[in-house]
Structure 1
Amino acid sequence: MPRKLKWTDVQDIAIELEEAHPDADVINLRFTDLWKWVQALPDFEDDPKKSNEKILEAIQAAWLEERD
C-alpha cells in the first residue's frame, strides 16, 4: 500500500502534480488552485489547515525544479 502524502512531502507532491498537470503554468498558478490540486492527489491525506504560504511556495519551487 503506498504511503499517504502529507504537506511536508514537498518533493513527492511536486512529482505527482507534474504527472497530473503536465501542461500547467506553474509560475502563474494561484496558490488557491495549487492548494486544491494537492488535496485532489490520490495519495494525499493531510489536514487542509496544515497548509500555509511557505509550504505552497516550496511545492511550487519543487514542481518547477521537477519540470526542468
Structure 2
Amino acid sequence: MNGKNLFNFGPVLGYYFRKHDPNRKSNFNMKTMHFINKLSLAMFLICLVVMFVRYILPALTR
C-alpha cells in the first residue's frame, strides 16, 4: 500500500452520496442496513469534528 491510496476517500464518498439504482431490488433489511451504515459514518465524522474543536484547536491558539 502506498501513500496515494491511503487517502483515497472516493469509494467512501461514492457510497455515502450515491443515487438510488432502480434496477436493484430492495427490501426492509437492506434499507435498514444502509441507513445504519450512513448514520454511523455521519456520527463518526461529527465526533472527529468535535475532537478537533475540543483538543487540537485550543492547543493551536496557545
Tell me which interval the TM-score lies in, with the shorter structure as reference length.
Answer: 0.3 to 0.5
Q: TM-score, normalised by structure 2?
A: 0.34
- Which structure is larger by alpha-carbon Rg, 1 or 2? 2
Q: TM-score, normalised by structure 1?
A: 0.32
* Higher normalized contact order (CA 8 Å, seq sep 6+, divided by chain length): 1
Higher helix share: 2
